[in-house]
Structure 1
Amino acid sequence: MTEAILLVGGYGTRLKPLTIHTPKPMLEVAGFPVTSHQISKAKAAAIDHIVLGTAFKAEVFREGLGDGSKLGVKISYAYEPEQLGTGGGIRNAAELLTCGPEDPVVVFNGDVLTGVDINKVLSIWKEKKADVALYLTKVDNPAAYGSVPTDAEGNVLAFLEKPERKEDIVTDQINAGMYIFKRKVIDTIATGRVVSVEREVFPNLLKAGLKVIGVVDEGYWLDLGTPTAFVKGSSDLVTGKIKTGLIHFFADKLVLSGAEIDDSSKVTNGSVVGINSRVEKDCEINNSVIANEVLISEKCVIDSSIIAKGAKIGAGCVIKNSVVADFVELAAGSVLINDSRIWPDQKVAKIELNNQTVPTNPDWGI
């Protein structure tokens, strides 16, 4: 039996206001929560017990995923009353593992969509007798990330923070958010306080002389932390650019059960129309996520945007590269462009927004 820890305790700050009511890993991407896609990938790699490291809105995970039986795995729930960071979260969740000290534990960040071959990384970890293996990916803009240089044998040389100058970039390899730990290494992480796996645990392992390796996989990888990335991930799942095992038919759109789309409307480019949602006549929906129980009234244009659960969009609205959160009622003729965001549970009169929010200074406590 192989066990895993899935870190799902973050606030999802960059995705607000979508994460006011729902933690980021439980937001639906192409009809399934992000966490379900990750669990499906784990199950395909013969991982059968997964501990979810929860904190923010922990109850939503248990309500949505239960004991894991519907996904073919066993799910246990670890809870952090106060957030402990990535390293502290791993240590806290490990209390619910059952494996031995030399056994592998796979750790996933809860906000990444990836095509990595988990079994390949496990095999290399075992073959090289490593204490820890990191899944690495190559990116075009390494300056936006911390980087992880390795030698010719794949041994990790350092963990570097985001470079301040372009000339300080030494590699395009970055931490892609999946690790293989020997269980006994996890047991050395400090308890009862905030610990960063990236800034504290990994550098300390190198200083202590443990064998930490990087395994580069240049397949699909996407951090779902922003609305633009979230839309891309959903579209890529719908069209089959990334496969997690939950979607079996790929097309230009995904229309879920009970959804109604008028024949005169166009839904294209990987868009999703959620359960029991309705799209009235003469609408254009392109590269967008329409969640469950949404009404899109006639003659709307929705492009590269997210319309969250229960929202009602009035006739003739134009929404481009923007977000309308849960249970918003938006008046006819409104225009939202350029990463505008309307926060949840509001009735909004006709408005034009350009890189603005409603309300202007929202305070939802996180």
Structure 2
Amino acid sequence: MRHALIFAAGLGERMRPLTDHTPKPLLVAGGKPLIAWHLEKLAAIGVNYVVINTSHLAEQFPDALGDGSRWGLRIRYAYEGPTPLETGGGMLNALPLLGPQPFLAINGDIWTDLDFATLPAEPRGAAHLVMVDNPAHHPQGDFTLDAAGRLHDAGEPKLTFAGVGVYDASVLEGWQALATAGDPARPPRFALAPLLREAMRRGDIDGTHHRGAWTDVGTPERLADLDAQLR
């Protein structure tokens, strides 16, 4: 696993007014942008090539991060246009830059102490997802992890998807049925979750339960709390 994708294209609507002038992954916690924590961890495990999806205030990313050389990385930017393509469309849009091999994908607006070196180099099937205990703002969870390490859409107790996973490009098979109709010149826009659920029904998604620190930085209050913890 030498390539990684960071989702950084969201509008950050719940983070306003902070995101009126700064993309959410570039907001600072613990003295550095959220996305810089990911870049440091990726470089530490030997990832050398990172694709960053961008849309909202996209021009700020190369200004802030450059070509990645300060971390020993090579960064490429996959611009999605003025309207983000959601997780599935964003991944599909980035695939030509990522290449055919499995890749690690991370949400740009989370923070975690997860050691990325513990993740598999490639998934057993279509994807390997990191799960965490349900946070207060998402008590219903997302998926169930069984004793064999397989993930299921049904069942209890559910855990929350951490926004970290190792993917094979095959996870996107069948995306055409989900794509939003619109300008044919634009890349398609669709969510990844329905494809993950379909793959789970085939027994094609596994995962791990991370019991350490994890924050979905979805509100200014959570950003402030994280900043205080990291400092």
Q: Give how far 1:140 is off.
A: 5.5
TM-score normalized by structure 1? 0.57
* Aligned pair partner of 1:183 in 134, 150, 169: 169
1:104 counterpart residue number: 102
SS at 2:43 equivalent: helix
Which ranges of structure 1 fall in alignment gaps of 5 or more residues? 161-168, 239-366
2:147 & 2:5 partners in 1: Cα distance? 29
1:143 & 1:7 partners in 2: Cα distance? 20
1:79 & 1:174 partners in 2: Cα distance? 28
Which ranges of structure 2 fall in alignment gaps of 5 or more residues? 180-186
1:134 counterpart residue number: 129
Larger CA Rg, structure 1 vs 2: 1
SS at 1:122 equivalent: coil
Deviations 1:263-311 (A, max 9, x none): xxxxxxxxxxxxxxxxxxxxxxxxxxxxxxxxxxxxxxxxxxxxxxxxx
Deviations 1:119-154 (A, max 9, x none): 21225x55xx23210000113548545421022101
SS at 1:215 equivalent: strand
Deviations 1:84-132 (A, max 9, x none): 111111111112113x3xx321010111000112121225x55xx2321
SS at 2:11 equivalent: coil
1:143 & 1:171 partners in 2: Cα distance? 13
1:205 counterpart residue number: 199
1:25 aligns with 2:25: yes
Q: Give how far 1:221 is off.
A: 0.3
Deviations 1:160-207 (A, max 9, x none): 6xxxxxxxx822411010111113434664473221112x22112234
2:229 & 2:158 partners in 1: Cα distance? 24
1:170 counterpart residue number: 156
Higher strand share: 1
SS at 1:75 equivalent: strand
Higher helix share: 2
Cα 1:235–1:75 shift into 2, 3 Å: same
* Aligned pair partner of 1:215 in 208, 212, 226: 208
Q: CA RMSD in A?
A: 2.1
1:113 counterpart residue number: 111
Q: Which moved more, 1:109-118 or 1:181-190?
A: 181-190
1:195 & 1:92 partners in 2: Cα distance? 11
Please tell me whether the aligned partners of residues 150 and 203 of structure 2 are also in contact (alpha carbons under 8 angstroms).
Answer: no
1:155 aligns with 2:150: yes
1:39 aligns with 2:33: no
SS at 1:228 equivalent: helix
Structure 1 residues 236-275: aligned runs within 5 Å: 236-238=229-231
> For residue 86 of structure 2, what is the amino acid of its counterpart?
G
1:194 aligns with 2:192: no
SS at 2:20 equivalent: coil
Q: Give how far 1:38 is off.
A: 1.1
SS at 2:145 equivalent: coil
1:278 counterpart residue number: none
Cα 1:145–1:229 shift into 2, 3 Å: farther
Cα 1:172–1:210 shift into 2, 3 Å: closer
Please tell me whether the aligned partners of residues 4 and 51 of structure 1 are also in contact (alpha carbons under 8 angstroms).
Answer: yes
2:135 & 2:66 partners in 1: Cα distance? 39
* Aligned pair partner of 2:221 in 228, 232, 249: 228
> For residue 29 of structure 2, what is the amino acid of its counterpart?
V
1:122 aligns with 2:120: yes
> For residue 84 of structure 1, what is the amino acid of its counterpart?
L
Give the count of matched residue pairs.
221
- Greater length-normalized contact order (CA 8 Å, ≥ 6 residues apart): 2
Deviations 1:211-242 (A, max 9, x none): 2012111011011111121012112222xxxx
Cα 1:181–1:6 shift into 2, 3 Å: same
Q: Give how far 1:210 is off.
A: 5.1
SS at 2:190 equivalent: coil
2:190 & 2:203 partners in 1: Cα distance? 19
